[in-house]
Amino acid sequence: MIREKELHPVAGIPVLFVLVPVTLGAIALLVRAIQLLQPVPVVVACALLVLLLGLSFAGFFVVNPNEAKVLQLFGHYSGSAREPGLRWANPFFTKKKVSLRVVSFESAKLKVNDLDGNPVEIAAIVVWKVVDSAEAVFAVDQYADYVRVQSEAALRNLATRYPYDAHDEEKTSLRGATAFVAEQLQKEVEDRVKAAGVQILEARISHLAYAPEIAQAMLQRQQAAAIIAARTRIVEGAVSMVEMALERLLQNGTVHLDEERKAAMVSNLLVVLCGDRSAHPVINAGTLY
């Protein structure tokens, strides 16, 4: 695999100040040789000198900030120039520009099945940049398209490993563990595009929803699951409160209840604590029994 090696071409301004007057002098010498009807070898030599100096101007190139120029000589990788400014190198070098700027894009909305088999729509935002210009040019064809395709493939794979939603706090879901899912997505995308000399700076989900054909049904299922989960917590709390009330009454000796009265008290307390409406108690003005 070809790795980047930094090349330091000659600064272009000094070369330009030398090359321009020398080229003008060579042109003047050629014109003078033709005017004086010098022998053909002399004229040809002057013409070749002018041609060679003119060809030297092809060695100038500009490197912009956050940009690299990949230099090749007849198919052989010679190095990458990263220093910004006007530079001069071998005129026969081919120079390919590679942007080192940070790039971001949003993937298309993909329809995939989550861990539970439910079709969901998901999209992600990926932020990346090139860190190795040689790998970006020689390892893959069109590295920008490669990053986009591999990001969508990683997003599809990630969506199939987790359910859309989970009421169990210990279970990871796409909707409930956004930070963890984003971390896993970034890691998977980075593993896929590492060969292209690209670094993933950030990857996060930008759109997540059930597919339209099951959205209404899944909303009802989600609401039902939420109600069951809430009721479970309410019952657990109510039973704990009833146990605490009976224990305190027994410890303090406030009132002595037989098993039948305990059962009636438990029933009344559970109705009050677990009901979804405010209780309307009936005050007993007589005896306890």
- Per-residue pLDDT of 159-176, as tens digits, reads 898 888 776 667 788 888
Average pLDDT for residues 257-266, to the nearest whole number? 68
Q: How wide is the angle at C-alpha 103 spanned by C-alphas 195 and 138, nearest 5°?
A: 30
CB 136 within 8 A of CB 98: yes
DSSP 180: H
Domain ranges for the chain, please list them. 10-98, 103-210, 215-274
DSSP 168: S
Q: Could you give the 3-state DSSP secondary structure of residue 75? A: coil
Looking at 62-177, list the stretches that DSSP marks H as alpha helix, in order from N- to C-terminal side: 133-138, 143-159
Label residue 62 by pLDDT band (50, 70, 90). Answer: very high
Please tell me the predicted confidence (pLDDT) of residue 242.
73
Taking 60 as the threshold, does the pLDDT of residue 285 lie above it?
no
The Cα 19–Cα 13 span in angstroms is: 10
The predicted model scores a pTM of 0.68
Count of other CB atoms within 10 angstroms of residue 124: 27
Contacts of 217 (CB under 8 A, 6+ apart): none
Label residue 274 by pLDDT band (50, 70, 90). Answer: low
- Based on its alpha-carbon atoms, the radius of gyration of the chain, rounded to whole angstroms, reads 39
Beta bridge partners, 81, equal 69
* Token pair in block for residue 235: 């019952």
CB 110 within 8 A of CB 160: no
Q: CATH number of the domain at 103-210, out of 3.30.479.30, 1.50.10.10, 1.10.30.50, 3.90.320.10?
A: 3.30.479.30
Taking 70 as the threshold, does the pLDDT of residue 280 lie above it?
no
Label residue 128 by pLDDT band (50, 70, 90). Answer: very high
CB 46 within 8 A of CB 26: yes
Comparing 280 with 87, which gets the higher pLDDT?
A: 87
DSSP 89: -
Taking 60 as the threshold, does the pLDDT of residue 287 lie above it?
no
Label residue 155 by pLDDT band (50, 70, 90). Answer: very high
Taking 60 as the threshold, does the pLDDT of residue 26 lie above it?
yes
Q: What is the mean pLDDT of the chain?
A: 82
Q: Indicate if the alpha-carbon torsion angle 176, 177, 179, 184 is positive or negative.
A: negative
Average pLDDT for residues 56-72, to the nearest whole number? 91
